[in-house]
Amino acid sequence: MSTTEPAIALSGLRKTFGAVEAVAGIDLEIADGEFFSMLGPSGSGKTTVLRMIAGFELPTAGTVWLSGRDVTRQAPYERDVNTVFQDYALFPHLSVLENVEYGLKVRKVARRERRARAEAALESVRLPGFGGRKPSAMSGGQRQRVALARALVNRPRVLLLDEPLGALDLKLREQMQVELKQIQRDVGITFVFVTHDQDEALTMSDRVAVFDSGRIAQVGTPEEVYEHPATPFVAGFVGTSNLLRGDAARQLIGREGTFSVRPEKIELTEGAGNGTVAEVIYAGPVTRFVVDLDAGARMVVVEQNRRTGKSTLSQMRGKRVQLTWQDEHVIEIGVNHAS
């Protein structure tokens, strides 16, 4: 890490709601200009951490630093961060342009500059000429972009995004993923992106933090997190885990420990073998086979549907198959090979 202050630093961050410990001690540094994702199931504490960075929640314990400044006790309006909300939270009584201008108006930016910057922001999210509309007259994807423009126009040091793509349909989601990444590269500010969608986190981020019950289970590049999960939870949440432990590990790997092989790394051949096909799921470009190994583990195998006319797919159920994989694709969980 370089000598400059991290954009965000969290230390010993905890938050309890009554008897529930939502965030159970988080230490984290996010570098300037990084696209950082917080990935985890609902209730894992990722949104609460985001809300503490924004200032909507006061931590029960711990400290939040923004660019080296302790902001733990500061109000949201005193922090140099802006948020894109899950429900967008656009002001219904204001036009799109007035929505985007809001932050500048509050900070008393002169009218002409305000207008120019708001229009430029709308252009950067590819909504030029939409300023006069009311948010209610726009589609979900358009509102999402207005929310983005409304946050970006203030040129914050950090942009926080709380599951911003959650309400969009799949096609639009994929399109917005690419656009968000592009916008982040253009403006060059730190993005902190909360999501429960592993694909989203893996495709967009420079680094990912995987949240598990109020703690960070692992922080790393998407590749590190996917190829070398630190815990069984990470292996299971990011991709399909295919865990081998106990007897199955001894028989198939030949060692004690917990191991995982990703579904796309496994070769499946018909004939007398080491397992039985329990389920076949056709999914367009790929087919998923669920195989019960004789050694006592259930594995998922993903195969590209390159061989069309393998008309007997459904007849595969119950067939004996041989699963093989290369040693280098066996992940020993809890051992980080990368660093």
Interface pick for another protein out of 76, 128, 129, 132 (rule CB under 8 A)? 76
| CA nearest neighbour of 276 among 257, 259, 295 | 295
> In 121-237, at which residue ranges do the beta strands (DSSP E only) sit?
158-162, 190-195, 207-212, 215-220
Interface pick for another protein out of 77, 171, 285, 304 (rule CB under 8 A)? 77
Specify the residue, 90 or 268, whose C-beta has the smaller distance to another protein. 90
Q: With binding defined as CB under 8 A, does residue 275 bind another protein?
A: no
Q: With binding defined as CB under 8 A, does residue 86 bind another protein?
A: yes
**Number of residues forming the site for another protein (CB under 8 A):** 24
Q: With binding defined as CB under 8 A, does residue 19 bind another protein?
A: no
Interface pick for another protein out of 85, 167, 203, 246 (rule CB under 8 A)? 85
Q: With binding defined as CB under 8 A, does residue 166 bind another protein?
A: no
- Applying the rule CB under 8 A, the residues between 122 and 141 that interact with another protein are none
> Least distance from C-beta 91 to another protein, angstroms?
6
Q: Are strands 286-293 and 297-304 parallel, antiparallel or unpaired?
A: antiparallel
- On whether the CB atoms of residues 293 and 299 are closer than 8 A, the answer is yes
Q: With binding defined as CB under 8 A, does residue 18 bind another protein?
A: no
> Least distance from C-beta 34 to another protein, angstroms?
21
Q: What are phi and psi of 298, to 5 degrees?
A: -105, 125
The DSSP code for 63 is E
Report CA-CA distances (Å) from 135 to 65, 88, 118, 217, 258.
34, 10, 15, 39, 51
Region from 38-46, 88-96, 248-256, 314-322 binding another protein, contact rule CB under 8 A? 88-96
Q: Counting beta carbons within 10 angstroms of the beta carbon of residue 14, is it exposed (0 to 12), middle (13 to 18) or buried (19 or more)?
A: middle
Q: With binding defined as CB under 8 A, does residue 107 bind another protein?
A: yes
User: How many angstroms separate the CA atoms of 177 and 194, rounded?
Assistant: 13
> Least distance from C-beta 285 to another protein, angstroms?
37
Specify the residue, 100 or 333, whose C-beta has the smaller distance to another protein. 100
- On whether the CB atoms of residues 52 and 13 are closer than 8 A, the answer is yes
Q: With binding defined as CB under 8 A, does residue 191 bind another protein?
A: no
The DSSP code for 19 is T
Name the residues that contact another protein, by CB under 8 A: 54-56, 75-77, 81-83, 85-87, 89-93, 102-103, 106-107, 150-151, 154
